[in-house]
């Protein structure tokens, strides 16, 4: 199964925070491989950081930007999901911020964190260097379902919504106006369905589709993706429509007895044409194999 070649990636968070709403800032990923959009929400009494970048050096950079924006205000840190480029810089925040996360994400980090550290370290030299001194850090404050942070004049709701992309996915909603969602939605990038049996089979694309439909119908106006440019609800609808297409086409071809590799070729050609501006088309093949594998494991879904 193919995946994008990231061996030459230099996963360095950089640049200056950009204001996307009142009190909300983003360090843009600049469409760099394994660099996430990092968020900052600044209230009158405290500030929240959303995601850390990959490894302690990136975490230190993000912490420095947070302190510059927040001044003397206390800091919170949360992560959209446990994947390394989003959460493996958290050690920079120990003692500097209260780290908040949902229970499913914490448990997923415990189960899979070491394996993902090893897997990502094998992707390329610069990636391995960035991860060399990583220590896996669990949240100080753990919640179930939903938690609210009052930063002072700015309300943040943390909402556990997994399993979808991962078991512990989290939305970060700011004043009912801005949403951060990590890799639940990306801008002009084919979504990743991380189905890697026997080690990771928690992806749930049906729940993912339902979540995106609800968000697109009545969610916030400003959408901060895990990767790519900040957008609006159109971004949510685009990702939703692609996943629906992938679901329906894999179901049709699998029911007809078409092998997964042949289905990936057929679906990939059509998807590349329909979503012609999207990057990382290798993830189409991975998505086809994910749907096939999930239905084989749960034949009632066929």
Residue 248 belongs to some domain of the structure: no
Residue 257 belongs to some domain of the structure: no
Residue 297 belongs to some domain of the structure: no
Q: Whole-model pTM above 0.75?
A: yes
Tokens of 207: 């729940």
Beta-bridged to residue 149, according to DSSP, are 156
Residue 5 belongs to some domain of the structure: no
Asked if the model's pLDDT at residue 198 lies above 90, the reply is no
Residue range 241-255: mean pLDDT, rounded: 98
Rounded Cα–Cα distance for residues 290 and 82 (Å) = 20
Residue 118 belongs to some domain of the structure: yes
Q: What is the pLDDT of residue 199?
A: 84
Confidence band for 207, pLDDT divided at 50, 70 and 90: very high
Residue 288 preceded by cis peptide, ω within 30: no
Q: What is the span of the domain harbouring residue 167? A: 18-236
Tokens of 93: 């925040």
Residue 198 belongs to some domain of the structure: yes
Residue 139 belongs to some domain of the structure: yes
Quote the mean pLDDT of the chain.
95
Residue 122 belongs to some domain of the structure: yes
Asked if the model's pLDDT at residue 4 lies above 90, the reply is no
| Number of domains the chain contains | 1
Q: For the chain, count helices (H), then strands (E).
A: 8, 12
Q: What is the pLDDT of residue 302?
A: 44
Rounded Cα–Cα distance for residues 61 and 74 (Å) = 17
CATH value at residue 35: 3.60.15.10
Closest by CA to 220, choosing from 262, 271, 181, 260, is 181
Residue range 154-180: mean pLDDT, rounded: 97
């Amino acid at each position: 199964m193919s995946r994008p070649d990231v061996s030459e990636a230099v996963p360095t968070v950089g640049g200056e925070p950009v204001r996307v709403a009142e009190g909300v800032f983003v360090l843009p990923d600049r469409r760099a491989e394994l660099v996430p959009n990092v968020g900052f929400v600044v209230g009158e009494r405290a500030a929240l950081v959303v995601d850390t970048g990959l490894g302690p050096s990136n975490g230190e950079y993000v912490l420095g930007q947070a302190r510059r924006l927040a001044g003397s205000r206390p800091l919170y840190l949360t992560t959209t999901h446990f994947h390394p480029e989003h959460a493996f810089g958290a050690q920079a925040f120990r003692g500097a911020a209260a780290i908040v996360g949902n229970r499913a994400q914490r448990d997923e980090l415990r189960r899979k964190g070491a394996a993902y550290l090893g897997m990502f370290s094998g992707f390329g030299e610069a990636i391995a260097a960035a991860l060399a001194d990583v220590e896996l850090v669990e949240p100080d404050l753990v919640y179930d379902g939903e938690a609210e942070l009052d930063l002072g004049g700015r309300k943040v709701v943390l909402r556990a919504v997994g399993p979808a992309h991962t078991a512990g996915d989290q939305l970060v909603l700011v004043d009912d106006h801005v949403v951060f969602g990590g890799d639940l939605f990306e801008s002009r990038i084919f979504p990743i369905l991380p189905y890697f049996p026997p080690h990771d089979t928690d992806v749930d694309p049906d729940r993912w589709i339902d979540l995106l439909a609800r968000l697109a119908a009545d969610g916030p106006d400003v959408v901060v993706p895990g990767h790519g440019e900040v957008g609006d609800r159109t971004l949510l609808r685009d990702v939703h429509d692609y996943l629906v297409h992938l679901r329906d086409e894999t179901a049709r071809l699998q029911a007809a007895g078409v092998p997964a590799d042949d289905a990936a070729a057929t679906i990939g050609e059509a998807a590349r044409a329909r979503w012609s501006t999207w990057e990382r088309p290798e993830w189409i093949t991975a998505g086809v194999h994910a749907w096939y594998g999930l239905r084989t494991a749960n034949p009632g879904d066929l």
